[in-house]
Amino acid sequence: MEGFLKIRIFKSALLILFFLFTQQLSAAVSRNDVKLQEASEDIKFISQQIVKDYFYLSFNTQKKEIKKSLNEELLLLDSKLRLIAASTTNKSTKKLLTFLAYSRDQITEAVSLPYSVENSAVILDYSEILLEGAEKIAKKHSYTFSKEEQMLINVKNMAYLLERMSKYYMVFQAGFKDHNNIKQLKNAVTDFDMLLEKINGYHYDSDISKDLSAISNYWKVARSYYLSLEKSNIPNILYISVEYLENNILKLELYHSKNL
């Protein structure tokens, strides 16, 4: 009987250790998935921002701060790619990273050269590869989000969509008047409208509510500029408008990050 009891105790101890191990392993996987989701969202944003700034620079060749921003964006892109590489053992994700790293190299080379239609086309094409790759990585490492995580992703997507709209606006003003570019811009406007509606349905503290009101009010004006891109040519005004909106969106992002 005593020996039988010892065996049962031993088995129970093993089960407890196994349970603790699997819980720790699951937590580690979840932490990595969170990192991968955040890095993927950041790459989506950067992929559009680089194009926006490159084309904006073609209108304002003397703006040294834009050149500096472009270099910083490329460095940030590198850091996000490295973070993903260090956070995953998934073979499919690692294969995708190969394509993203190649796209990064092509964009970096094109940005270093004087503005030209050929270089512009290269940056446009490879920015979409970066975007598509980031979306696939996020999908591959998706999990059930908490309410705050979902709100954080919604807010980050709002900033990404602003960059996407602005990218296509600058591209159009530079002479790339392809119908699909216009369609993509208008789709981004529609998606932003839907996200803003979700954000407005969240109960924020009074201080943050002021920032949300500022976004909603300012967006009404910016929205009309985006949708009238065929009639307007105001890249400077739009560039400043995006900075204002994104500064307020960042406050919402920080709010949700703290609530995780």
- Burial class, 49, CB count within 10 angstroms (exposed 0-12 / middle 13-18 / buried 19+): buried
Question: What single DSSP character describes residue 114?
Answer: P
Secondary element (H or E) of residue 144: none
- Report pLDDT for 30: 60
Closest CA to 77 of 57, 101, 99: 101
CA distance 174 to 161: 20
Residue 65 has pLDDT above 70, yes or no: yes
**Mean predicted confidence (pLDDT) in 38-42:** 93
- Report pLDDT for 5: 45
- Report pLDDT for 246: 97
**Mean predicted confidence (pLDDT) in 47-51:** 97
**Mean predicted confidence (pLDDT) in 94-112:** 94
Residue 25 has pLDDT above 70, yes or no: no
CA-CA-CA-CA torsion for 171, 242, 250, 203, nearest 10 degrees?
A: -110
Residue 108 has pLDDT above 50, yes or no: yes
**What does the block give as tokens for 67?**
């050149």
Residue ranges with strand state E in 138-206: none
- 155-182 burial, b if ≥16 CB within 10 A, otherwise e? bbbbbbbbbbbbbbbbbbbbebeeeebb
CA distance 118 to 6: 76
Residue 33 has pLDDT above 90, yes or no: no
Scanning the structure block, which residue is given the tokens 């002021």?
A: 210
- Report pLDDT for 1: 52
Between 23-27, 48-52, 135-139, 221-225, the lowest mean confidence (pLDDT) is in 23-27
Residue 147 has pLDDT above 70, yes or no: yes
At residue 31 the predicted structure's pLDDT band, cuts being 50, 70 and 90, is low
Q: How many C-beta atoms lie closer than 10 Å to residue 245's C-beta?
A: 20
CA distance 172 to 170: 5
Q: Which domains does the chain have, with CATH numbers?
A: 37-143 (1.20.120.290), 144-260 (1.20.120)
- Report pLDDT for 232: 84
- Burial class, 205, CB count within 10 angstroms (exposed 0-12 / middle 13-18 / buried 19+): exposed
Residue 28 has pLDDT above 90, yes or no: no
Residue 199 has pLDDT above 90, yes or no: yes
Between 20-34, 99-113, 158-172, the lowest mean confidence (pLDDT) is in 20-34
Query: How far is the first Cα of the chain from the last one, in angstroms, to the nearest whole number?
Result: 51
52, 60, 67, 149 from 114: Cα distances, Å:
16, 13, 12, 41
Residue ranges with strand state E in the chain: none
Backbone CA torsion sign across 137, 79, 82, 105: positive
pTM: 0.87
Instruction: Name residue 112's amino acid.
Output: S
- Report pLDDT for 3: 53
The residue ranking higher by pLDDT, 168 or 1, is: 168
**Mean predicted confidence (pLDDT) in 232-247:** 93
